[in-house]
Amino acid sequence: MSHHDHWTDEELQRYVANMEKHAKRAYGSFARTIVEFKVEYLKGKRATVLDVGCGPGFLAFELMNRDYALRVIGIDPDPRMVQTAQVKAKERGMNEFLVRIGKAEQIPLDRETVDVVVSRRTLHHWRSLPSGFREIRRVLRPDGLFIASDVNRAYPQWKRKVRYVFLGLLAGRDTARHWPGMREHWLSPEDIQPLLEHEAFRLEFIDAGADFTLVAKKQTTTKRAEDSAHQRR
């Protein structure tokens, strides 16, 4: 299920138009973080990136503009978003961007086929975080990275209300209207860390403000055992 499922076609079109207008501001910082960690951990490797919950594709386009060697695959559970992303990619001549219907808990890719999995503000929409992290681990190659950014539940509520105004300007009134009701689904890094560790990811980086960003590395079985032994000493 996508959080856009209950939107009319008109509301979805307004959302896409607003996000496209502000794409660099909305996606630029996270795209820069992704590319920086990709360069640091994967060096000069030509990486394949999976964008979970890609929406209209604007994060993927930012990534591809910053690193021409990236191969980006997008999945989204909403067929309308998939179709929109395909159209937007064609408009930009980004023929290497592949997008298909899919969700975190059921990724339509083979085992160990991507180097980096990214997610921007989709975690709180997943039906099952453990299932999603398990699937991400499955499709990641050894030592692959999971990089996510989402709304931080631990951020002070009074500050959040001020941000609603900015959100309304950035994403449009349809998105802003639904945000207060989503609060019960928001997460904090503390919610996610034990779930990732249980699926054999090691946290490499956390930054928490109004949104949080985290980077986790897939551990091999041997490395996981070594880390566990080190922690027991």
Q: Is the per-residue pLDDT at 75 higher than 50? A: yes
Comparing CA positions, the residue from 192, 230, 233, 185 lying closest to residue 213 is: 192
Most confident of 9-13, 15-19, 41-45, 105-109: 105-109
Q: Give the CATH number, domain containing residue 187.
A: 3.40.50.150
- Say if 135 falls within a structural domain: yes
Task: Report yes or no on 3 lying in a domain.
Answer: no
| Residue 7 reports pLDDT greater than 90 | no
Beta-carbon contacts of 4 under 8 Å, excluding residues fewer than 6 positions away, are: 12, 15, 55, 78, 80, 81
Cβ contact 203:196 at 8 Å:
yes
Chain position carrying tokens 């980086």: 205
Instruction: Give the residue with greater pLDDT, 153 vs 155.
Output: 153
The pLDDT tens digits of the residues spanning 26-73 come to 899 999 999 999 999 998 789 999 999 999 999 999 999 999 999 999
2 within some domain:
no
Residue 84: the pLDDT is 97
Residue 1 lies in a domain: no
Query: What is the DSSP secondary structure assignment for residue 106, as one 8-state letter?
Result: B
For the cut 50, the answer to whether the pLDDT of residue 226 exceeds it is no
What whole-number percentage of the chain has pLDDT above 90? 66
Residue 229, pLDDT > 50, answer no
Cα 63 to Cα 15, 27, 136, 143, 172, distances in angstroms? 21, 9, 19, 20, 23
Residue-number span of the structural domain to which 54 is assigned: 9-232
101 found inside a domain: yes
pLDDT-based confidence at residue 220 (cuts at 50, 70, 90): confident
Q: What is the pLDDT of residues 160-182, one digit of tens each?
A: 666 555 555 555 555 555 555 56
In a domain? residue 26:
yes
Residue 4 lies in a domain: no
pLDDT digits (tens, 9 = 90+) for 84-108: 999 999 999 998 899 999 999 999 9
In whole angstroms, give the CA distance from residue 69 to residue 224. Answer: 31
- pLDDT tens across 126-140, in order? 999 999 999 999 999
Domain contains 49: yes
Total domains in the chain come to: 1
Q: What is the pTM of this model?
A: 0.86
